[in-house]
Structure 1
Amino acid sequence: MTNLSPTTRPHARGFTIIELLVVIAIIAVIAGLLLGGVAIVKESAKESQATTVLTNLMGNAGMYETKTTKPIGHLTDTTMKWGIGSWLMNAPGREQQKGAITAGYINDENDENPSYTYFLAKIDMDMERANLFIKPNEFLMLMGGCATMAFLLVLAMGKGLLLAIPAGILGIFLPKLYIKFSIWRRMGKAEKELAQVLDTFASCFKSGYSFSRAVQQVAEQYDDPWGTELAKVSAEMNFGSSVEESLVGLTKRIPQSDVAMFVTAVLIQRETGGNLGELLETLSKTVRERFKLMNKVKALSAQGKLSAFIIFMIPFGLASIYSAMFPEVMMNFFHHPIGWGLMTLAGGCQLVGGFVLKNIVTLEV
């Protein structure tokens, strides 16, 4: 083997570590997108479960009847009497109800691009769940702006189109990831406070409050999200919406099975009578016990999650160390097709490994 002289040995360009960090960031964001997609699918499954709980109970009680189209929030949605629009759940009939969610934008019968309209409607619902006052068209403009800024920023760093184009593509998803994170954080807080909210409702009903007065009283005692969402329910009832329609809107903005059970209890009690205060106290105890079990499972799986995170980050740490110690060797990965192929293969393996580890350490309660 011929030894390379110092003059013929490849030299390292500047920003070697920066280039490596950019590649690591791209792989990490792609992994986040894929794992986030899995989380979104699981969240959709939870929405389906919440909706199924409500509709099945209403159907068993003989109270599930199609009702006229009523405006709820920003959208016009076909509601059910003491039920919920089937467009929220992954169940048979969702395609037939797709026109309902889009009716607030254009007439679905004459819609030349129903997928785009449905996409706008989903963005609008996400804005409501995140409690952000952004119109769908403005959100699309924000996505385009983030993509353009990421593309131009990478070009300004002198990295070329090879990295600028992926950066622009990733920039498109940044606003969507922020919205999903906001929804996740807000729904998590709503889930934690639900038992206390149910206790407050029970106290109000035992004190002789009417339902509308109890909703207003509870809304004044809590911050976002329950204060905000119950204030919306109170405002809808004050402006002429029925209790059923207002509570249907609540289950859409907070799509959780426990909230669906709360709505079911209220609506059945309004039809059949009974002590709603005691019923909500029992439901509150059930929610607390389930939440304790969920926290216990999280504590038991924390060590496994930490181990999975460390295993996932080891290749990136080794790559950073080798880049600092042997920049000439690491530069071959950036300046040779085989190097890019190896990094692509390694990144794909990392994504698959991260997905597998995520499913191993994630336990549903």
Structure 2
Amino acid sequence: MIALQVLVACAFGLVVTFGLIGVARMVPSGHTRARSRIATMAGDPARPYERQTNVLQDERVSSIGFVDVLLSGRSWTATTRRTLEAAGIPLRVGEYAAIRLLAVIAGLAVGRAAATAISADVSVSIMFLMLGAVVGILLPPVYVRIRVRRRRAAIEGQLVELCEVVASMLQTGYGQLQALTAACRELEPPISHEVQRMLDRIRLGGDIDEALQEANDRLQSTDFDMIVTAISLQRSSGGNLAEILRGVAETIRDRMSFAREVSALTSKERFSALIVAAFPLVIVGLLSAISPDIYTRLFTEAMGRVMLASALALDAVGYVVIKRLTKLEV
């Protein structure tokens, strides 16, 4: 019976925790809000090509007609498409939405099966269903976000090599497109896929600056933004692009070295976040084992369950806050 009460309290705490984390993820950061306000006030006249549609590219949200009509033209659809492209996941938005719906259904099924396995009452069954639904809702976007971070990190790790290869090709007499084509053949994925996509965009009639800016918007990488800015300035003002790219490569190399130093310096604080989050749980477990008559009231009484669930939620919030404080932008 005590084990059942523990599961109920933990399930409720996890539901509250995932809910708070989901709300926190939905709130845009200050950097995002500032960029949005600047773009709105400026009207972004220098980037009209983002509103154009490539007739040779399938822009449908889904191959199913009514789903395409339902999701087309929505801000969530455009954001999700960019996120999937940044993650390198070859899915349409409609397919991704279907996967999220299936994940919720699967979470509900798992929650129902768990409640049935322990012969839970109605209130506990509802709790398990809520937990399964929350996990099903959050799992796909969390996975996509992880893929985006890993792919961006992999691309940023190849940018120095990209600059060096393009600069070498330019010094041997290649043009910009020829140098990018040679770099696409020389480099490994995922950067080669992005370069190939830029080349395809240019060969279909796009401008090189537009193709670079589209890739920059897709990747959201500070290092790649430096490369795009350097090439755009060189095309408008002139200069030796090979030397410029070598200078950018040196800057990126220095930033990566500094980022590793910052990561090493903040490793203690990141590990402290894990200790701070795990310590209360360990203490509650030990005290419950040492004095079960006193501390099992946290699991057997209604007020104890509420207190335990609130403590778990606050513990998770504290962990998220510490992680955010130790995450420094370099």
Short-chain TM bin: 0.7 to 0.9
Offset of residue 198 of structure 1: 1.1
Offset of residue 251 of structure 1: 0.9
| Candidates 262, 265, 283, aligned match of 1:300 | 265
Q: Does 1:140 align with 2:105?
A: no
Report the residue type matching 2:175 in the other structure: S
Q: Does 1:224 align with 2:195?
A: no
Q: Distance in 1 between matches of 2:316 and 2:3?
A: 29
Does structure 2 conserve the Cα–Cα contact (< 8 Å) formed by 1:35 and 1:355? no
| Candidates 256, 261, 265, aligned match of 2:230 | 265
* 1:85 alignment counterpart: none
**1:324-359 Cα distance to aligned partner (Å, 9 max, x none):** 666676654344320222023213321342243224
Task: Return the structure number with greater relative CO, CA threshold 8 A, min gap 6.
Answer: 2
Offset of residue 112 of structure 1: 9.9
Q: TM-score, normalised by structure 1?
A: 0.73
Q: Distance in 1 between matches of 2:113 and 2:49?
A: 57
* 1:344 alignment counterpart: 309
Offset of residue 43 of structure 1: 7.7
Q: Distance in 2 between matches of 1:137 and 1:253?
A: 19
Q: Distance in 2 between matches of 1:336 and 1:149?
A: 31
Does structure 2 conserve the Cα–Cα contact (< 8 Å) formed by 1:75 and 1:121? no
* 1:107 alignment counterpart: none
Q: 1:129 to 1:113 in 2, by over 3 A?
A: closer
* 2:215 alignment counterpart: 250
| Candidates 173, 177, 197, aligned match of 2:142 | 177
Matches within 5 A, 1:117-136: 117-136=74-93
Q: Distance in 1 between matches of 2:272 and 2:201?
A: 48
| Candidates 289, 298, 303, aligned match of 1:333 | 298
Offset of residue 240 of structure 1: 2.1
Q: 1:34 to 1:316 in 2, by over 3 A?
A: farther
* 2:118 alignment counterpart: none
Q: Distance in 1 between matches of 2:111 and 2:299?
A: 16
Offset of residue 188 of structure 1: 1.4
Q: Distance in 1 between matches of 2:128 and 2:293?
A: 20
Q: 1:14 to 1:300 in 2, by over 3 A?
A: closer
Q: 1:345 to 1:23 in 2, by over 3 A?
A: closer
Q: TM-score, normalised by structure 2?
A: 0.80
| Candidates 105, 108, 111, aligned match of 1:154 | 111
| Candidates 316, 319, 322, aligned match of 2:281 | 316
Q: Distance in 2 between matches of 1:360 and 1:200?
A: 37
Report the residue type matching 2:280 in the other structure: P
Q: 1:205 to 1:42 in 2, by over 3 A?
A: farther
Q: List runs of 5+ in structure 1 lacking aligned partners.
A: 1-11, 77-101, 103-110
Q: Distance in 1 between matches of 2:25 and 2:101?
A: 20
Q: 1:299 to 1:35 in 2, by over 3 A?
A: farther
Offset of residue 154 of structure 1: 1.4
Q: Distance in 1 between matches of 2:323 and 2:109?
A: 34
Q: Name the SS for the 1:71 alignment partner.
A: coil
Offset of residue 286 of structure 1: 0.8
Q: Name the SS for the 2:173 alignment partner.
A: coil
Q: Distance in 2 between matches of 1:28 and 1:161?
A: 17
Q: Distance in 2 between matches of 1:291 and 1:119?
A: 33
* 1:71 alignment counterpart: 53
Structure with the higher fraction of residues in helix conformation: 2
Report the residue type matching 1:143 in the other structure: R
Report the residue type matching 2:258 in the other structure: L
Q: List runs of 5+ in structure 2 lacking aligned partners.
A: 62-68, 116-123
Offset of residue 36 of structure 1: 5.1
Q: Distance in 2 between matches of 1:255 and 1:285?
A: 20
**Equivalent residues, number:** 309
Offset of residue 22 of structure 1: 4.1
Q: Name the SS for the 2:135 alignment partner.
A: helix
* 1:41 alignment counterpart: 29
Identical amino acids, percent of aligned pairs: 20
